[in-house]
Amino acid sequence: MNTPIVTPEMTPSLNAMFRFQWEKAQNCFVLLFPEGMVKLNGGAGEIMQLIDGQTNIQQITAALHAKFPDAGDLSDDVNEFVTTAIEKKWLNHD
Amino acid sequence: MTNQTVTDISAQDSDALVGPPLWLLAELTYDCPLHCPYCSNPTDLSDTKNELTTEQWFKVFSEARDMGAVQLGFSGGEPLLRKDLEELVKHARGLGFYTNLITSGIGLTEKRITKLKEAGLDHIQISFQGADPELNDAIAGRGNAYQQKFNMAKSVKAQGYPMVLNFVLSKQNLEQIEDIMRLSCELEADYVELATAQYYGWAYQNRDHLLPSREQLVEAEAIVNKFRDEQDGKGPHFIFVTPDYFETRPKACMNGWGTTFLTITPDGSALPCHSAKMLPLTFPNVKDKSINDIWQQDFSFEYFRGDDWMPQPCKGCDEKEKDFGGCRCQAFMMTGDMHKTDPVCSKSEDHHLIQQAIDSANNPSKPIVPRVNQKAMKHAKDTELNITRIKI
Ligand code: SF4
Ligand code: SF4
């Protein structure tokens, strides 16, 4: 498979195979799918919360920057996560 | 924000305290319309009178969810035979569970698939016995089962569910593996489990008729790999599980006894694994104790946790973290002692029993026994036990 190229205009959406929710017992966001669970770390959870099928990469990055002003430029982090998430089929994209 | 952690449900870190039972399997009823010879349900089927009530199941779900359980499987028997299934799904979904229905597809209708969706069901798994009506229905012991499953699988996808198909492979259907994979593509399955029968319960009695030969397996595996290569990242994700009889190390016991999985049987017994009831241990019942007490304190759950219980050669073995000494049920069935090293392990003094089983499967001496409710048979004294021999 070719590595997807994340562009600022791309709008990712959650693959309907997965459910995204906060798990209190795990103290993190998770993705649930048939008989399985993926635990997401803090950063991944923050990005996933902003993915709604309407918001594009640029807007997601800007929203994160507004929430974490001291974190510096976050575009690489967003691109890296979204690339992995598409490869793993957690996310679809237009 | 880098270093994203991705943790598989089966790779939980073990803290000092016992982690939560992440996976809860609710066996709603032993009742089942099919009679598969590989069924791993207990061979002395209890009758349905002692089944937990709706309210009792609600309590089980709430208590397990409070502890951190997240995956909930509804199985049986055939869970569709419970009239309150929709109600149970709705309640569980409301608590935040990911809800899985594990069904034979018999008794499913388009309408029920819709109703379950409305109740919040997340995923449906349908089991098949073969890739065509003839073989499928011969193994399942029921006519038209195949067509029904096929139609329901179509409908499950049409209604937008993730779908897992489960094919129980044995000597009887292994040669159909390629057709099975094509069928899975046609039905647009998301995941497909191609699993050789686990030899517990009913299946153990029928092992000679089910266990494929090494040659059959090697061939099947080659077909699976070739098919996968040609998929080019598209279509179902195939999971091929071979029987551990041909290995020199046992399969790890479900991530360790009492670490992740909790099964509640139709009458409320709590088990660390779905076939543990065969073991000479007394298991607690949810009618008497809370899930928390059961999981954290019960003797039977504590019994095979960690490695204190292990005899040699497991105790001194540097692989014990990997396989936990293998399957307790298999050790018990084959050696009569549940503490022993799983005979699959080449370090086990009982390893020759595995070779004997393989040899004996090449030359079965007893006829195959379909799964029938023995108690039901008592009321039909003049009916001979219907023993079907399946021709290949
Ligand atoms: S004891 Fe055996 S059957 Fe039970 S969970 Fe462990 S491996 Fe599975
Ligand atoms: S001796 Fe026991 S722990 Fe070691 S590999 Fe065999 S089963 Fe596993």
pLDDT for B202: 52
* Domain presence at residue A3: no
Q: Measured from the CB, is residue B338 less than 6 Å from ligand 1?
A: no
* Domain presence at residue A70: yes
How many angstroms separate the alpha carbon of residue B345 from the centre of ligand 2? 6
Sign for the CA dihedral angle at B5, B8, B14, B17 comes to: positive
* Domain presence at residue A4: no
- Which of A18, A21, A35, A92 to mutate to test binding with chain B, by most B CBs within 10 Å of its CB? A35
* Domain presence at residue A7: no
Query: Model confidence at B4, in pLDDT bands (50, 70, 90)?
Result: very low
CB A35 to CB B6 under 8 A? no
Q: Taking residues A30-53, what's their average pLDDT? A: 92
Mean pLDDT of chain B: 80
Q: Give tens-digit pLDDT for B253-303.
A: 778 888 889 999 999 999 998 888 888 999 999 999 999 999 998 899 989
CATH number for position A67: 1.10.10.1150
Domain region containing A71: 12-88
Give chain A positions within 8 Å (CB) of B164.
34-35
Q: In chain A, which residue's Cα lies nearest the Cα of B232?
A: A1
- A54 — contact with chain B (CB < 8 Å)? no
Q: Measured from the CB, is residue B317 less than 6 Å from ligand 2?
A: yes
CB B22 to CB A35 under 8 A? no
* Domain presence at residue A62: yes
Q: Measured from the CB, is residue B250 less than 6 Å from ligand 2?
A: yes
* Domain presence at residue A74: yes
ipTM higher than threshold 0.90: no
Residue A15 has pLDDT above 70, yes or no: yes
Q: Say which range, A3-7, B19-23, B196-200, has the weakest mean pLDDT.
A: B196-200
Residue B323 has pLDDT above 60, yes or no: yes
Number of domains in chain A: 1
* Domain presence at residue A94: no
pTM flag (> 0.90)? no
* Domain presence at residue A84: yes
Q: Measured from the CB, is residue B217 less than 6 Å from ligand 1?
A: no
